[in-house]
Amino acid sequence: MAATLDLLTGDLSPDPFLERMPERYAMDVHVLGGHFHFSSDSAALMEVVAMAYAGLPAHTLPMASPGFHVELRLAPAGAEPSAQEPPPVRMQSGAGFLCGVMDASNYAVLFPEQRRALVVASADQLVRPYHLRYELIEFAVFTLATRALSLAPLHGACVGWHGRAALVMGASGAGKSTLALHSLLRGMDFLSEDAVFVHPASGKVTGVANYLHVQADALRFVDDQRLRDWIEQSPVIRRRSGVEKFEVDLRHGHGQLAPEPLELACVVFASPRLADDPQALVQAMPDHEIESRLRAEQPYAASQPGWDAFVSAIRQRGAYELRRGRHPGDSVDALMRLLD
């Protein structure tokens, strides 16, 4: 008891847990069907939020739009020079919390039941905003929206035509980003290249259409020099796999971002194999193979509550394998025919 009394009466800060930090900066966005309020004591952290969500179409789902609050705090830079790449995020949970932790100064703590999150980042992370945005801020936003709105979280790309969406799945190297790029350049609605969220009850698909990541070799199929310049002038990011890609901000360039959630039409599994017949790139998948293929492609989504409803929706709408043609435009033609 004496030790406890010493702790309580000792020379402590009047706010040791930083519970009375001022909210100097704020931003409100509608994304993934929810209304997100971001607040911070740091203008620099709010700039990273703007990099992710400013200027996006406001997607709403056919339900009341719940409110979310994400608070961001800036921690001092590390005493040691930071590594070129931060540590990978480790996941943890307990007592109703979800956590994503890089290190002691860079982490996200989520309270799904309260629709709230705290993201803490050290000042040295501001020099590499890609990891901060993608692995901490978007981690918090995506996870909160998924849990609160009963969304099926999927890894894949999504493009639309006449309001109907094709979910494009496939292993790394299957050509999803290249297909998404050429779909965008052909006038299709772009919804996402990496993370797609389906609301199974309504059949609506949403995502965050902020960036497209493409490797330099994908540009050999882009004939318009104006479009090549747009892509080549974009920053280059380095994935944890070591692959380098252009990070193309789609809000400041060419193409049409999906103005609202799209109607789920089908799933397309992109294959790296060339088609035997260039006029027959698409093959319908037998019904009995659909669930096992989806489960193999989407192990995380398969563990979530909305999985069975999502699989049922795909069985009703159809799943296809898309093999490569001689040019990405051939695959875009095939997608358009599926969505007409």
pLDDT at 53 (0 to 100):
97
Whether residue 12 lies inside any domain: the answer is no
Same-domain status, 159 and 65: no
Same-domain status, 203 and 332: yes
pLDDT digits (tens, 9 = 90+) for 248-305: 999 987 889 999 999 999 999 998 888 877 778 999 999 999 999 999 999 999 999 8
Cβ-based neighbours of 329, under 8 Å, separated by 6 or more: 182, 186, 221
pLDDT at 83 (0 to 100):
58
> Which contiguous run of DSSP H or E holds residue 268?
strand 262-274
pLDDT at 3 (0 to 100):
40
Same-domain status, 200 and 61: no
Whether residue 250 lies inside any domain: the answer is yes
| Distances 23 to 26, 40, 261 between C-alpha atoms, Å | 7, 5, 32
Whether residue 3 lies inside any domain: the answer is no
pLDDT at 250 (0 to 100):
95
Domain containing 127 equals 21-77+84-149
Predicted confidence (pLDDT) at residue 6 exceeds the cutoff of 80 = no
Same-domain status, 101 and 197: no
Domain count for the chain, please give it. 2
Which carries the bigger pLDDT value, residue 171 or residue 333?
333
Whether residue 7 lies inside any domain: the answer is no
Summary mean pLDDT of the chain: 90
pLDDT at 11 (0 to 100):
59
Q: How is the beta sheet containing 244-249 ordered, strand by strand?
A: 211-214, 244-249, 236-238
Same-domain status, 159 and 307: yes
Give the end of a domain, one of 123, 149, 175: 149
pLDDT digits (tens, 9 = 90+) for 101-145: 999 999 999 999 999 999 999 999 998 899 999 999 999 999 999
Same-domain status, 231 and 266: yes
Same-domain status, 162 and 272: yes
Tokens of 24: 């100097």
**Mean pLDDT over residues 25-36, rounded?**
96
Whether residue 6 lies inside any domain: the answer is no
Whether residue 14 lies inside any domain: the answer is no
Same-domain status, 182 and 123: no
Query: What pTM does this model have?
Result: 0.91
Whether residue 197 lies inside any domain: the answer is yes
Whether residue 97 lies inside any domain: the answer is yes
pLDDT at 331 (0 to 100):
93
Evaluate the CA torsion angle 32, 38, 44, 50 in order and state its sign.
Answer: positive
Same-domain status, 145 and 159: no
pLDDT digits (tens, 9 = 90+) for 200-216: 999 999 999 999 999 99
Same-domain status, 137 and 195: no
What span, in angstroms and rounded, lies between the C-alpha atoms of 204 and 197? 8
Pairing of strands 157-161, 97-103: unpaired
Give the end of a domain, one of 149, 175, 190: 149
Same-domain status, 176 and 231: yes
Evaluate the CA torsion angle 216, 222, 224, 230 in order and state its sign.
Answer: negative
Tokens of 224: 């318009």
Give the end of a domain, one of 149, 165, 200: 149
Same-domain status, 168 and 132: no
pLDDT at 65 (0 to 100):
86
Q: What is the CATH number of the domain that holds 265?
A: 3.40.50
pLDDT digits (tens, 9 = 90+) for 79-102: 555 557 889 999 999 999 999 999
